[in-house]
Amino acid sequence: MTGFLASQSFRCSQIRVGESLKCVHPNYHVQRQRSTARQMNPVPYYASYFGEKLHIDQNEKLAMFGLTHVCAIDGFSGRIVGFSLMPQKNNIVVYEQLYKSVINNYGLWDQIRVDCGREWYLMLFINQMFAHLRTSTTKEPHLQSSSKLNHTIERIWVEVNSRVNYPIKQALMDLVESDLINTEDPIHKYCISWFIIQVASIGTSIFVNSWNEHPIPGHKNGIIRRGVPNVLMKQSSNAKRINPNLLPSSSQAVRIYTSSGGVLTEPYQFGIDPIAHSVEKKSIRHMSFTQKFPSFDNIFHEIVNGNSSPFKNALIFFIDITKRLSLS
């Protein structure tokens, strides 16, 4: 909350914010205090500057409904430098939506740390090509290890799940149990995926801005330190800037990778949009939907505050109008 307020240009002490939250929402305040998920995991190492280690991970709490989160966070500052929402994890989508954006915006990290998933292969392959341009070339350009050892980024998923994913998942499960949506129907699958990506993108944007402005406790050599990610980044930034034109496009990256013997799966749509090839029908759908539900911001804020009705009504409307247009 202090991070969110800071991202809106309001600076308040943690004690003051805590007391206010205790008065406004006492039950939630007690739950936060008792939650064991908020306990800090041990830190297996320390990054000495911004640009030394980049942690990238994915969250599949809503994968069955067509939403996967992929996040990149700097190991020194704790700053979230990239966040992407996609229907399904895929090498090409991760490279295009996350890796290229992060490197173009900040530069090359000395080392990228990921889990052992196959969805990182293209990104790591291209990163290896530019390893000689890093600030420090003594480290391996990337390291794959168990998710449990990637603590720096694993911590944020607790917050993302509680603030974004779980309210959305509960509403979707209610709709499934009421037979109002069918996760086996390809049209339903497409509509659900598209819709929850729009809603979740509002929440993740707020979360990222808040996280990057909130004070993070930590330690080095037994000394307690505290810092705000945005501030720490400016104090010690050593990510190596490169010419954005050096990075190959997605299609070029795929050709380079496959010509060296690699195999990739092309991204494919989650479900089926029956009016995907009709510009006129898609325009009608968009206009009809936005007239009835003009703001995804409102839908998100309502669902995270316990009112899932706008979310459910909007999703059902989007499915119904898509099906009606497909039959016309």
Contacts of 90 by beta carbon, 8 Å cutoff, 6+ apart: 119, 265, 267
Residue 248 lies in a domain: no
Residue 133 lies in a domain: no
Residue 27 lies in a domain: yes
Tell me the residue range of the domain where 17 lies. 1-34
Residue 1 lies in a domain: yes
Residue 4 lies in a domain: yes
Please report the pLDDT score of residue 36 as a whole number.
43
Distance CA 166, CA 308 (A): 12
Average pLDDT per 10 consecutive residues for the chain, totaling 328 residues:
62 63 64 50 70 96 98 94 97 98 96 94 97 94 78 85 96 98 98 98 97 80 70 91 94 97 93 97 98 97 97 98 96
Please report the pLDDT score of residue 152 as a whole number.
73
According to DSSP H, which parts of 212-304 are helical? Answer: 229-235, 250-259, 279-292, 296-304
Which amino acid is it at 20?
S
Residue 15 lies in a domain: yes
Residue 30 lies in a domain: yes
Number of domains in the chain: 1
How many other CB atoms sit within 10 Å of the CB of residue 232?
22
Please report the pLDDT score of residue 40 as a whole number.
46
Residue pair 90/192 in contact by the 8 Å Cβ criterion: no
CA 41: distance to chain centroid? 21
Please report the pLDDT score of residue 47 as a whole number.
87
Residue 13 lies in a domain: yes
Please report the pLDDT score of residue 2 as a whole number.
65
